[in-house]
Chains A and B, each alone.
Chain A
Amino acid sequence: MATKLSYRISFLVLLLALLLAFVLNISLGSVSIPFKETLNTILGGQTQQDSWNYIIWNYRIPKAFNAILVGSGLALSGLLMQTLFRNPLAGPFVLGISSGASLGVALLIMGSSFLAGLLGFGFINDISLAIAASIGSFLVLLAVMIVAARVKDTMALLIIGLMFGSITAAIVSVLSYFTNAEKLQQYIYWSFGSVGNLSWPQLSILSAIVGIGTLMSVIAIKSLNALLLGENYAQSLGVNIKRNRLFIIIATGLLAGGVTAFAGPIAFIGLAVPHLTRQIFDTTNHKVLIPAVFLYGGILLLLCDTLAQLPNSIHILPINAITSLIGAPVVIWLLIRKRKMIF
């Protein structure tokens, strides 16, 4: 079929774009390294300066990989949520899943000063941070799920997400009142969102989490497609709704929670990428959408990160600022062209 061929071409273009964005991301940074030398280093050759080699292998390449994992994971979790909640405006940020993760991390970082005295533990490492974020996002996801079963109104769901954001903000401000400046700063840096500062071992943990979440999404393709008709129809097509819903929620929680744990709450990628992908591929079939959203999410976050690090300057903007600048207009555009609110 002609459509199959055009899908193949589109995927090829996306793959090339990913590769290009990857190289571009690595070649630009606070230290100016000639493009030729960057390529040379990636391909395993020698560079003029050893420091360049060090920067590229220990800083820029892990960061670029991380950007891909974060972008892909968030975008995929957004796609799963939009289908599961039958809501075009669903996404990890809008539904409060990121807030849940933030709350978990805030309680861990700032609340640990009380708990440390009570329970006798006071260490905060990446693993405990990841666990706290995942638990937080999973709990919010469950709460949203319970509410979604009762209210059919899509707008109500979004307002609930907003409320979770407010609750998080409130608790954080209460905690910040009691905590010391150092811990508050630690939390605020985390909440800015960043794809840098990850070591190779941390990266491997994140890739395992995103890998499992992606694998689960692929397994769920058939039931996700059935869910496009609504739950009753999906059930009439032989889909075990309860089991599949839980399966998809766990996948979403892993993707959104895991990513947020390592990169902080990153806005709009999860919401905007699935819509942009549907525009390009003009399909709702998850067999096409899942790989496409995965690639697209990676590309977009690589590009956002490239912008955020302000090439050749020592300043780094919070990546959230960039993703919001791109994502918020997408949401407004979706609301204005109501017809395209369909998903």
Chain B
Amino acid sequence: MFIVNDLHIGYAKKKRQTTVASNITFQTKPGTFMAIVGVNGIGKSTLLRTLGRMQSKISGEILLANTPIEKYTAVEWAKKISVVLTEPIASKNLTVIELIALGRQPYTNWIGALTQTDNVAIEAAIEKVGLADLKQKKCFELSDGQLQKVMLARAITQDTDIILLDEPSTHLDLFHKVHILKLLRSLAHETGKTIVFTTHEIDMAIQLCDAILIMGKEKQSFGTPKALQSAGIFHQLFPEDTVIFDSKTSTFKVNK
């Protein structure tokens, strides 16, 4: 669905341009569960924000369904892509169901009245993510993991081909990390949605993802975890004196 060609991302302030990452090229098929990994500050979030049209690219092209993403109107775009960001929501006084229902905004009328179709979509998302017990809770009463699931349910409710998530597993314990990532993976495979997320959990990405984009200072590598491993890319990810990649077990180890 996504075709990204020679993309350069960064920030343009007045006449000064700061390029964060360059030469990014990859393609995704429907149902792809894809991770974007790389060290802190390498531009993972910038890439995700650029893909989500929250900031403009510097050069290159991003095609969605063979159309440049800039061509979509605001509402068309909202029906194609939903996002889960790291920034906290403005009002934590919303109830879980109110928040999830907001995902239907691209489809509702001028005042946002929910139809039967909308309610079915909302209930389906709540069931999929397993939030039935929390429906009437206020967001400030939820734990980080619960809130992350609510945000995911909202994105599912938006009924888009693509879901972009910025560090969905950060701040969660191991169990909840695995839980969220497995949920995302099954969602991608069952519904054919393309799910792209940034993460620091490279171990888990290797085990769970269909494709990984590794962002580095000089070059970006994209491929299946297996292809990347046989190309020896993982070995170059971190400085060898701190973290080494063990090819046998496909895990990273601390170099003592």
Q: Is B91 in contact with chain A by the CB < 8 A criterion? A: yes
Q: Is B218 in contact with chain A by the CB < 8 A criterion? A: no
Q: Is B92 in contact with chain A by the CB < 8 A criterion? A: yes
Which residues A210-226 have CB closer than 8 A to chain B?
218-219, 221-222, 225-226
Q: Is B174 in contact with chain A by the CB < 8 A criterion? A: no
Query: Would you call A86 and B91 a contact (CB within 8 A)?
Result: yes
Q: Is B184 in contact with chain A by the CB < 8 A criterion? A: no
Q: Is B168 in contact with chain A by the CB < 8 A criterion? A: no
Q: What residues of chain A lie closer than 8 Å to B85, measured between beta carbons?
A: 230, 232-233
Q: Which of B22-30, B71-79, B120-128 contacts A (4 or more CB under 8 A)?
A: B71-79
Q: Is A287 in contact with chain B by the CB < 8 A criterion? A: yes
Q: Which of B99-107, B200-208, B236-244 contacts A (4 or more CB under 8 A)?
A: B99-107
Query: Would you call B112 and A221 a contact (CB within 8 A)?
Result: yes
Alpha-carbon distance between A86 and B99 when the two chains are bound, in angstroms:
16
Q: Is A278 in contact with chain B by the CB < 8 A criterion? A: yes
Interchain nearest-CB distance for B149 vs A (Å): 16
Q: What residues of chain B lie closer than 8 Å to A293, measured between beta carbons?
A: none
Alpha-carbon distance between A83 and B81 when the two chains are bound, in angstroms:
25
Known contacts: A222-B111, A287-B112. The answer to whether A237 contacts B106 by CB under 8 A is yes
Cross-chain contact of B94 among A219, A222, A228, A232 (Cβ < 8 A):
A228
B111-144 near A? 1/0 per residue, CB < 8 Å: 1100000000000000000000000000010000
Q: What residues of chain A lie closer than 8 Å to B231, measured between beta carbons?
A: none
Query: Would you call A230 and B112 a contact (CB within 8 A)?
Result: no
Cross-chain contact of A232 among B79, B83, B99, B106 (Cβ < 8 A):
B83
Q: How many inter-chain contacts with C-beta < 8 Å in the A-B complex?
A: 82
- Which residue in chain B gives the minimum CB-CB distance to A85? B90
In the complex, which range does the number of interface residues on chain B fall in? 20 to 34
Q: Is B254 in contact with chain A by the CB < 8 A criterion? A: no
Alpha-carbon distance between A226 and B89 when the two chains are bound, in angstroms:
10
Query: Would you call A228 and B90 a contact (CB within 8 A)?
Result: yes
Q: Is B67 in contact with chain A by the CB < 8 A criterion? A: no
Query: Would you call A237 and B78 a contact (CB within 8 A)?
Result: yes
Alpha-carbon distance between A237 and B94 when the two chains are bound, in angstroms:
17
A225-240 near B? 1/0 per residue, CB < 8 Å: 1111110110111111
Q: What residues of chain A lie closer than 8 Å to B105, measured between beta carbons?
A: 222, 225-226, 237-239
Alpha-carbon distance between A192 and B12 when the two chains are bound, in angstroms:
49
Cross-chain contact of A235 among B74, B99, B108 (Cβ < 8 A):
B74
Q: Is B190 in contact with chain A by the CB < 8 A criterion? A: no
Query: Would you call B74 and A240 a contact (CB within 8 A)?
Result: yes
- Which residue in chain A gives the minimum CB-CB distance to B160? A236
Name B residues whose Cβ lies closer than 8 Å to a Cβ of A: 52-54, 74-75, 77-79, 81-83, 85, 87-95, 98-99, 102-103, 105-106, 108, 110-112, 140, 158
Q: Can you list 23 pairs linking A and B with CB atoms under 8 Å apart?
A: A86-B90, A221-B111, A222-B111, A222-B112, A225-B105, A227-B90, A228-B89, A228-B90, A228-B94, A228-B102, A230-B87, A230-B90, A233-B83, A235-B54, A236-B54, A237-B78, A238-B77, A278-B93, A284-B91, A284-B93, A284-B94, A287-B112, A342-B140
Name A residues whose Cβ lies closer than 8 Å to a Cβ of B: 83, 86, 218-219, 221-222, 225-230, 232-233, 235-240, 278, 283-285, 287, 339, 342-343
Q: A222-B105, A229-B99, A232-B54 are in contact. List 19 more A-B contacts (CB 8 A).
A: A83-B91, A228-B89, A228-B90, A228-B102, A229-B91, A230-B89, A232-B83, A233-B83, A233-B85, A237-B78, A237-B106, A238-B75, A238-B79, A240-B74, A278-B93, A283-B95, A284-B93, A342-B91, A342-B140
Those 4 A-B pairs whose CB atoms lie nearest each other, nearest first: A238-B78, A86-B90, A238-B75, A228-B91
